Chains A and B, each alone.
Chain A
Amino acid sequence: DIQMTQSPSSLSASVGDSVTISCRASQSIYKYLNWYQQKPGKAPKLLIFAASTLQTGVPRRFSGTGFGTDFTLTITSLQPEDFATYYCHQSFSFNDAFGQGTNLAIK
């Protein structure tokens, strides 16, 4: 099975800051990498698919890069509503797998 490892597991930032979250796959997943945002008590929400394509309606301050095994999610000019947990997800292999999550907290 492909393992997904996110870093950091948590970070704190202030409104207006920029942050970067990393996700590493245990083997190449090409561009089969998606990012989700989850708020407490809610289902995950798709932000980015195919490593870098913004889902319809998602603000442009969210961006994704990467190919193969290493991927990043960047959020610029953090807004209060961005403080949440973020997950990467690989859909390359038969068994979809998620990273363990990165909790973005307000400083």
Chain B
Amino acid sequence: QLQLQQSGPGLVKPSQTLSLTCAISGDSVSSNSAAWNWIRQSPSRGLEWLGRTYYKSKWYNDYAVSVKSRLTIIPDTSKNQFSLQLNSVTPADTAVYYCARRVGSTVGGYWFFDLWGPGTLVTVSS
């Protein structure tokens, strides 16, 4: 069954590292036709794309400028999953975090997010 399942703590202290994992069922993290993304949502910032990892003969990572210095996305082929690590968090990082698959249309190659995880509410507080 095609799905993404998220795991990770819901509470992180300021200045610590936020770590989340997205387990993939029904597809492969090494797929040549998909990119694996992290997106977050908060009342103040709305939906915000954070970054992606994808495999095209080798691994690539793209990160949003807003979090590039603090974010690492790591694929794990042995467990068919990918992880987010966001360092030095502050209360502004409080949000619902989603993992999502981005694929391209067969005609035109238009990219879109067609599969989402259920979301994890992460609160940054001491």
B residues near A97, Cβ cutoff 8 Å: 49
Are B110 and A91 in contact, CB atoms less than 8 angstroms apart? yes
Number of chain B residues whose Cβ lies closer than 8 Å to a Cβ of chain A: 22
Task: Please tell me if the beta carbons of A98 and B108 are within 8 angstroms of each other in the complex.
Answer: no
At the interface, is chain A mostly helix, strand, loop or mixed? loop
Chain A binder among B25-33, B79-87, B112-120: B112-120
Q: Give min CB distance, B22 to chain A, whole Å.
A: 12
Q: How far is the CB of A2 from chain B (nearest CB, A)?
A: 12
* Interchain nearest-CB distance for A75 vs B (Å): 19
| Residues of B with C-beta under 8 A to A55 | 114
Chain A contacts of B118 at CB under 8 A?
42-43
Interface residues of A (CB under 8 A from B): 1, 31-32, 34, 36, 42-46, 49-50, 53, 55, 87, 89, 91, 94-101
Interface residues of B (CB under 8 A from A): 37, 46-49, 62, 64-65, 98, 100, 102, 105, 108, 110-114, 116-119
